[in-house]
Amino acid sequence: PPPRCGSIMSAPEQQQAQPPPEAGEPDPAHGYEPVAPHWFYCKVTDGRERWVPFSAQDSERLEEAQGSGRDKEDLVVPTSGGRYDVHLKKRQRVAVYWEEEVSEVRRCTWFYKGDKDNKYIPYSETFSEELEEAYMIAVTLDEWKKKLESPSREIIILHNPKLMVHYHPVATSDDWGSTPTEQGRPRTVKRGVENIAAEIPNGEPLQIDHLVFVVHGIGPACDIRFRSIVQCVNDFRSVSLSMLQAHFKKAQEQQQIGRVEFLPVNWHSSLHSTGVDVDLERITLPSINRLRHFINDTILDVFFYNSSTYCQTIVDTVASEMNRLYQLFLQRNPLFKGGVSIAGHSLGSLILFDLLTNQKAAPEEDEHSEEGSRTTSSNRGIEEVKEILKKLQLSEYCDVFEKEKMDRQALFLCTEKNLKEMGIPLGPRMKILHYISSKTEMQVCLLHSLYSSRSHPVSANYPQLNYKPTIFFAFGSPIGMFLTVRGVKRINPNYSLPTCKGFFNIFHPFDPVAYRIEPMIVPDLEFEPMLLPHHKGRKRMHLELKEGLTRMSVDLKNNLLGSLRVAWQSFTRAPLPAVEGASTEAEGEAEAGAEKQPETKAEEPPPAVKEEAPLINVGRLNGGNRIDYVLQEKPIESFNEYLFALQGHLCYWESEDTVLLVLKEIYQTQGITLDQPLPGSQ
């Protein structure tokens, strides 16, 4: 054995050697115990391999399938909440819902410490079996200092149960090599996953209560670290699991809830696989190469969406991908009875908004209403059409429209082709079409008026979704700005999305891309967006401090003004003998005034706060509830708004406050509330 073997053990390893042996490393006196395997998969990031453990429940499931004796079949085991399948025979981990490189899977028992990051790397399964056999013999016979050679000509020496080392292969042309002592610093070898301090992830609840599709914004990168939508949604999902444990503990303990599944929707790759990148490459200037490529890959997505050709590609991709994912999810989860919501970041939220405004509400939605009221409503709509025709001096065509059961909304959806098919001559046709187009801007509550040829820059055939979303969440959304640019000045308070009754516009205060929606519904009233409560149940300290200082400055100003008023009154009193009496009276009056003044001033902010409460009528777009929600900035962000503007636009994926609002609203539709209501929440 090499000299100074004891000196190569690090402090943590020496600490590990002191306590009594674990299950994976038994005391030789107690005999041999088989090692407990754990399953890992290989994750490749930027060309670097990293072995990641499966959750305990996934590993048990894989081990159970491995021990079922069905080796000849290619058994497929769903893992990671059903988002990845492991093909056991091929030892491959395959993504189910999106495209991703296939990962190698390994049943791991023995590990050695890597060179670069000190992470433990598992040996191959066959060599691990050899090591285990040698270890078993050594323990049984109590004969140590066993030497083994790995397939890559590396040497492993089992000195004793606590000290096993791995030596590099010698870099010489001599096949015999040299003795292990001359081969540099050895690497530590460990037996069993419990001895390598691996962070084994918690398993996910099997029950899925709700499904959320998440659509990304411009470009392939979704956050400040240039990660893909898949990685960002993985983060969002992880945060949601921790928020469920922290804020829905009672419901979890009573097995009322499982979890919410979030699935990414990628449209960028489909758009850029149309050949447009090659066309752009030909016309792109060679200077400032990286910046130009960045613009071509990201910012141009906004222009693509405003082009009728590529807008159609984008909406088709988003709708078909969401429909495909929904069908695949139902196939894999046949017992799923929950609802579906959708979330969009940046441009993704605008794409979803356009899709949702162009959905057709199913006729069966009206079935729950009474037949009489439906008939009355229909008759009223036909009467309105008759009045319009009378105004246009086209009363002779009333019977034609009545026969076609044409109400006001149907009239506003009419095209020239429809009117021609109804047998309306050219002259009256033109009058009706001119009337429809002239009233478009005023009738923003109707679907056609929001997206008529006048108010939408491009025309597209919007596909229909196979489900009705429960809630639409917009993160850092430019919807308000795009609607304004399209000429929509006001959203009628009675307007709601045809198939989706919930809409939340969530933004960071410094997000340069985000715009509000509520002022478009209530233009005459100035009011703040709803402040999202902190997930730990209070305002951030720096915001409380800022409010406290504001109140203090108001009080100081009022007191100072009161004092100045007293001084001025004392100087302006005329008779000298009366100064004493008068001054005391004046002081009394001034003090009373000074006391009353701050009270009224100090009480002015609370009414403004109360105005933010649900007393404001913001229409039916979110079922009568508030729409705009602003996150609380972090203390460091408040120092410089411009410095953190980009980060503000990309912060939503790991924002606990955002995730908690999403979970709260989703579970509220199922009658499940937070363990403790957060202060300031609606």
Residues marked active site are found at 346
Strands 48-53 and 38-45: antiparallel
The answer to whether the beta carbons of residues 62 and 80 sit under 8 Å apart is no
DSSP annotation of 339 reads E
Q: Which amino acid is at 206?
A: L
Q: Distance between CA 537 and CA 515 in Å, rounded?
A: 26
Q: Distance between CA 543 and CA 634 in Å, rounded?
A: 9
The answer to whether the beta carbons of residues 340 and 210 sit under 8 Å apart is yes
Q: Distance between CA 21 and CA 16 in Å, rounded?
A: 9
Helix axes 541-572, 579-602, angle to 10 degrees: 160
Q: Distance between CA 505 and CA 482 in Å, rounded?
A: 14
The answer to whether the beta carbons of residues 191 and 127 sit under 8 Å apart is no
The answer to whether the beta carbons of residues 424 and 400 sit under 8 Å apart is yes
Output the CA torsion sign for 48, 51, 52, 58: positive
* Buried/exposed code over 146-167 (b: 16+ C-beta within 10 A; e: otherwise): eebebeeebbbbbbebebbbbb
Strands 502-507 and 471-475: parallel
In sequence order, the 6+-apart residues with CB closer than 8 A to the CB of 57 are 203
Q: Distance between CA 368 and CA 543 in Å, rounded?
A: 47
Strands 471-475 and 339-345: parallel
Strands 155-160 and 146-149: antiparallel
Strands 76-79 and 84-87: antiparallel
